[in-house]
């Protein structure tokens, strides 16, 4: 369970991260914040490239930031867009790699939006638990 204070800090972090987005092609800045199992908040923004396939979404940037700090489990996610948009399929899959059915808040630039869960965004998900143990 994520308390209101932590939720509000995550929302503020995601909205702040959105301000750093590099989105000259889509004109759709996105910010994200994930709560690592260590209690720290990791931020990310989308970073586009003229070769569109090389762009990176905010949610994946936040996860990669967390993993780069040595943390491999996340407890909550916030995504901030102009219209409280939802993560793309690739981001949903990457989030699933590092989380269970965690809360996800989709908010606009003022922090207004809705709460859902990761598994609601990615029903019938495929994750590490579906692979056989490798000994």
Sign of CA dihedral 71, 80, 110, 77: negative
- Output the pLDDT for position 105: 99
Nearest CA among 16, 5, 117 for reference residue 62: 16
In this structure, the dihedral spanned by the alpha carbons of residues 28, 56, 47 and 29, taken in order and rounded to 10 degrees, is 20
- Output the pLDDT for position 135: 54
Please give the average per-residue pLDDT across 116-129, as a whole number: 91
56 burial via Cβ count (<10 Å: 0-12, 13-18, 19+): middle
107 vs 109, more confident: 107
Q: Is 45 helix (H, G, I), strand (E, B) or coil?
A: strand
pLDDT greater than 80 at residue 102: yes
Nearest CA among 34, 36, 61, 33 for reference residue 46: 61
Between the alpha carbon of residue 74 and those of residues 63, 98, 135, the distances in Å are 8, 6, 25
In this structure, the dihedral spanned by the alpha carbons of residues 106, 24, 19 and 39, taken in order and rounded to 10 degrees, is 60
Residue 128 confidence class, pLDDT cut points 50, 70, 90: confident
Q: Which residues are catalytic?
A: 59
Domains of the chain, CATH where assigned? 4-124 (3.40.140.10)
CA distance 79 to 109: 10
Which tens digits make up the pLDDT trace of 27-85? 999 999 999 999 999 999 999 999 999 999 999 999 999 999 999 999 999 999 999 99
Q: What is the mean pLDDT of the chain?
A: 96
Residue 1 confidence class, pLDDT cut points 50, 70, 90: confident
């Amino acid at each position: 369970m994520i308390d209101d204070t932590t939720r509000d800090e995550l929302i503020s972090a995601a909205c702040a991260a959105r301000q750093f987005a590099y989105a000259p092609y889509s004109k759709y800045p996105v910010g994200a914040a994930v709560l690592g199992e260590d209690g720290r908040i990791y931020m990310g923004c989308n970073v586009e490239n003229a070769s569109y396939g090389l762009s990176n979404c905010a949610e994946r940037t936040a996860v990669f930031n967390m993993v780069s700090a040595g943390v491999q489990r996340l407890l909550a996610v916030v995504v901030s867009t102009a219209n409280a948009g939802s993560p793309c399929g690739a981001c949903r899959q990457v989030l699933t790699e590092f989380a269970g059915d965690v809360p996800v808040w989709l908010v606009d630039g003022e922090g207004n939006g809705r709460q859902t869960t990761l598994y609601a965004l990615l029903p019938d998900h495929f994750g590490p638990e579906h692979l056989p143990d490798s000994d």
